[in-house]
Structure formats: C-alpha cells, structure tokens
C-alpha cells in the first residue's frame, strides 16, 4: 500500500470510527435514560424521556401547557416525566410540599433567564436572602387595606379606572362615527394602558401616562378599525412584548438562552423596541432620581431606603412595570371577553352591582357574584400558565406513590390544575357559578370541594414565593370589572373570535396581541 493510499484509508476510517463512537455513546445514554435513570419508572412521552429537546420545542412553539396537560390525561397519571430530569405534577396535594413547607423548594435554573439587564428582580431571584431584603422592603405597599384606599374614586386606582372607561367609551364612539361595519375596539390595547398607569401610579406615585398617549399619526382615509387599533398601541408595549417573546427560550441553559435570544432578535427585529425600552428606562430613572427615601413611601423610595443602589432600583421598577401591566391586563381582558360572550353572566353581575349601589356595604370584595366572575377569570386567564419550576432538595420526596430524587426539576402548572375536570367540570368553559356554594350540581357545594378549588387556583403561584403584588392585581380587577359593567360600554357587543388563544410561554401572550370586540353601527 502506498503512502497516499494509507492516508486515504485513515481519512475514511477515522471519521467512521468517531461516528460509531458517537452513536454508541448516544445508544448508551438513551438506554440509561429509558431503563436505568432514577425517573425511568415515571410515565411520559418517549421523546421527552430521551431528550430535553422535546420540552424545549413545545416551549418554543407556545404549546407546552396544553401538551403536558394532554399527556397527564393520556397516561392517567398525576406524575409525568416531561424531560430526562424534569417532572410535571397535576396533584394539588403536592402544592404544600413543593411551594410551602419550609419555604418551599428552591427555584430552578429557568429563573436565571428572567433577569432584567443582567440584574435579578424580586421575581427571578433564586437566592432567598437576596429576595427577602427587597421583598420585605416593599411588602407594606401591597397590604390590602392600603390597596383598597387607592381604589376609591379619589384614589389613584379609582382615577385610572374612570379614565380608562371614558377612553373605552370615547374610542367606541369615535370609531362608530367612521361608519365602518362593524365597529371594533381592541380591548387588550386599552387594558394595557389601564394597568400601566394604575400600577405605576400606585407604586411610584407617578403614572406612566399611557392613558394620555394618542395615536402617533392620523389614520388614512377609509382605514378600518383594526388598522387604527394597531396605530394606537401604548409606547411601552414593544418593551413588554420583547420580554414575552424571550419566554419561548426560557427553558434553555442561561448562556445558551442569551445567545439564542440575541440571535432571534437579530433575525426578527422590532424597530420600535429600542425607543420603547428607552422610554421605560427614562421613566424608571426619573422616578428613582426624584425619590426621597426619608420622606416618600413609594416602591422606589423603600428600595433605596433598604440600601438598594439606584441602578438596581431602576431595574426593579422596570420589572414591576412589566409584571403588573402584562399579567393583570391578560386577566382583565379574559373577564371582559367572557362577559361579552355570556349575556346571562353579564346581566346577573349588572343586577348585583345595581343592588350593591343601594345597599349598606361599600366593600366590593363581599359581592359573591362579582368575586365568582373574577375567580373564574383568574382560572382561565392565566398570564403564567407554565410550571413554577423548583429543584427537589437532597433526600427527594414522595408524591402519589412515586419517589422523586433530589436535583430533579419539578413543578406544577396553573394550566394543568385549572383545567382539572374532577375539580372543574367542563374546565375549558367559563362558569362563575362553580364558585358559588350550592349552585353547581356537579359539585354539590361541599365545603371540602370548595377548599380544593380555592387551593388549586394558583394564578399568582403560592407559598413563600407567591406574587408579591397579588392584592394589588386582584383589587384592580374588582374595581375595573365593576366600572366596565356599570358603564354600559359592553351592551350590544360581541367578540370577534370564539376563544382567546394563548401562546403558552412562561409569561403567556394572547395570540396576535389583540382581543377585539365589535358592535354593529346601529347600536
């Protein structure tokens, strides 16, 4: 054999040997994960048991929650293996072990991807000490008594809701004047404005000004209402959308997440993002620079008084603006959607509010049907539908006959609990009556059943890491829903779609970023 032939032979044999070695290694890995791994006895789809790419893919596509929920039903199991080292649980009895007992399990690595500007927020922080310093500083602001005071007509929340309703009515009237058929209003765009101003006005004592913003230019002659609606988006929305979109990659390891997210933004640029981010950043910087920690009792002043630097306080304020705006807007628009689609519910709530105005009580939270309407909206309007991922501590834990070893990524998804047909018959339908004791024949109004429903309703998570702003978000929903119904703006309306379809990232987004309702021009 000549030297040239020997070299050629080596060039053929070495890659072949390397390829065979890779294939053999993959075969061993697959064999281990399917048959020898500590989670090998837990049912789950074959691709998910072999590789995490399956979970990454359904997350990227925005279908993670519905896929996982369907597999829980298919395998008839409350413990489902969704990746080689990840488990989904659908049993509400496990909530206490995972999220409550001893402060709950530590947050999983996924939360590293929710930093803002490289800084951990109160939401994303995995270190309990880091989080507690910041959360304890601002916690008094979210006391329900203080939130209720702001919901009065003279309070900032009440003022923002009143201006929101007026803008809603004005937009409807102005578009009817265009004589287009039918008249359409994007309720989601309006609720984003409301939540941005209500949240910033309440927390920072200075509203962002979203309800005062006007369209960037006049609509072209003969433009349809949907075109006009797209021109009337809040200036902060590209900032909000960018965070929502990043959620599609949130399961990736942190370094890979940064790379992929940057590539995605490069491939699919949003020309409005930079301007939007700058607008939000300038607002946050302004309220921080103007804060007086010794005299003010605001979100930013409390953080500064706790020793948090100004740059980080800016980030914490921006994170609060995003979280409070997006999640509460999605919940409110879900309630509005179903009030329009369910005239019986709308009528019954309207009557309860009429009697409330004549009654002795002034506490909205005591109205049973309004509360049921809100609870059902929270059940279906999941701004965070995906698993609240945690890491099982050393020693593992038992759930429904399965042993989950330490270091396993485990979590319970609101989407899965909220669509449990055993607790919520016809789970994909909007039925406020299910929350009223004695009115649902399928549940017989039993107190035990009601307690389970309340336990498994987790739109704000649960345990020590429950959303710090849940009181604020909930009360805004009460005040806004009341105001919308009493205004009569929904009379004669119909929805433009049969359902609200979510893209199920960690922070879900409504597909198309719009939820329109319409009226015929003779209404």
- Rounded to whole angstroms, the Cα distance separating 210 from 208 reads 6
Burial class (CB in 10 A: 0-12, 13-18, 19+), 19: exposed
Non-local (6+) Cβ contacts of 145 within 8 A are: none
Q: Which two tokens stand for residue 317?
A: 């304020």
Alpha helix (H) residue ranges in 400-517: 414-418, 447-456, 470-487
Is 467 annotated as contributing to ligand binding? Answer: yes
Nearest CA among 490, 475, 242, 243 for reference residue 367: 475
- Rounded to whole angstroms, the Cα distance separating 403 from 397 reads 6
Q: Evaluate whether 172 touches 185 at the Cβ level (below 8 Å).
A: yes
The DSSP element (H or E) to which 519 belongs, if any, is strand 516-519
Q: Which two tokens stand for residue 123?
A: 């939401």
Burial class (CB in 10 A: 0-12, 13-18, 19+), 209: middle
In angstroms, the first-to-last Cα distance of the chain is 93
- Rounded to whole angstroms, the Cα distance separating 224 from 219 reads 9
Non-local (6+) Cβ contacts of 403 within 8 A are: 38, 396, 397
Alpha helix (H) residue ranges in 383-432: 414-418
Nearest CA among 390, 507, 377 for reference residue 96: 390
Collapsing DSSP states into helix, strand and coil, what is residue 88? strand
For the chain, state the CA radius of gyration.
Answer: 25
Alpha helix (H) residue ranges in 381-509: 414-418, 447-456, 470-487
Nearest CA among 312, 330, 331, 303 for reference residue 203: 303
Q: What are phi and psi of 89, to 5 degrees?
A: -120, 135
Q: Evaluate whether 378 touches 99 at the Cβ level (below 8 Å).
A: no
Q: Evaluate whether 129 touches 117 at the Cβ level (below 8 Å).
A: no
Please report, in range form, the residues annotated as the binding site for heme: 467
Please report, in range form, the residues annotated as the binding site: 467
């Amino acid at each position: 054999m000549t030297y040239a032939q020997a070299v050629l032979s080596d060039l053929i044999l070495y890659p072949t040997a390397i390829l065979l070695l890779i294939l053999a290694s993959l075969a061993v890995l697959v064999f281990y994960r399917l048959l020898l791994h500590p989670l090998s006895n837990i049912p789950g789809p074959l691709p998910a048991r072999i590789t995490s790419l399956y979970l990454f893919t359904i997350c990227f596509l925005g279908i993670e929650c519905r896929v996982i929920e369907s597999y829980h039903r298919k395998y008839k199991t409350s413990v489902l293996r969704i990746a080689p080292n990840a488990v989904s649980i659908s049993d509400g009895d496990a909530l206490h072990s995972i999220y409550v007992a001893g402060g709950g399990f530590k947050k999983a690595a996924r939360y590293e991807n929710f930093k803002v500007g490289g800084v951990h927020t109160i939401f994303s922080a995995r270190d309990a000490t880091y989080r507690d310093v910041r959360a304890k500083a601002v916690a008094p602001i979210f006391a329900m008594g203080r939130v209720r005071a702001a919901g009065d007509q003279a309070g900032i929340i009440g003022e923002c809701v009143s201006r929101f309703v007026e803008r809603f009515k004005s937009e409807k009237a102005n578009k009817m004047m265009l004589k287009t058929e039918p008249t359409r209003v994007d309720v989601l765009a309006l609720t984003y404005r409301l939540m941005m101003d209500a949240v910033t006005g309440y927390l920072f004592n200075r509203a962002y000004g979203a309800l005062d913003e006007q369209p960037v230019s006049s609509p072209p002659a003969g433009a349809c209402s949907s075109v006009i609606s797209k021109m009337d988006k809040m200036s902060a929305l590209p900032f909000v959308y960018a965070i929502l979109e990043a959620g599609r990659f949130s399961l990736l390891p942190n370094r890979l997440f940064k790379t992929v997210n940057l590539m995605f933004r490069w491939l699919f640029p949003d020309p409005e993002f930079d301007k939007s981010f700058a607008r939000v950043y300038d607002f946050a910087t302004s309220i921080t620079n103007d804060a007086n920690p010794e005299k003010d009792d605001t979100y930013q002043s409390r953080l500064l008084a706790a020793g948090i630097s100004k740059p980080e306080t800016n980030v914490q304020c921006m994170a609060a603006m995003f979280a409070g705006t997006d999640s509460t807007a999605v919940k409110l628009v879900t309630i509005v959607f179903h009030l329009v689609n369910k005239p019986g519910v709308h009528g019954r709530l309207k009557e309860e509010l009429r009697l409330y105005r004549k009654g002795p009580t002034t506490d909205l939270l005591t109205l049973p049907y309004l509360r049921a309407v809100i609870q059902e909206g929270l059940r279906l309007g999941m701004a965070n539908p995906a698993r609240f991922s945690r890491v099982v501590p050393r020693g593992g834990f038992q759930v429904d006959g399965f042993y989950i070893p330490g270091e396993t990524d485990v979590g319970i998804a609101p989407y899965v609990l909220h669509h449990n047909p055993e607790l919520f018959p016809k789970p994909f339908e909007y039925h406020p009556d299910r929350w009223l004791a004695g009115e649902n024949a399928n549940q017989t109004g039993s107190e035990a059943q009601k307690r389970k429903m309340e336990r498994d309703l987790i739109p704000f998570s649960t345990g020590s890491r429950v959303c710090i702003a849940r009181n604020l978000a909930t009360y805004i929903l009460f005040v806004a829903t009341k105001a919308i119904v009493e205004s009569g703006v929904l009379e004669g309306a119909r929805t433009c779609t049969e359902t609200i379809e979510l893209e199920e990232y960690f922070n879900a987004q409504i597909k198309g970023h719009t939820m329109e309702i319409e009226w015929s021009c003779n209404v």
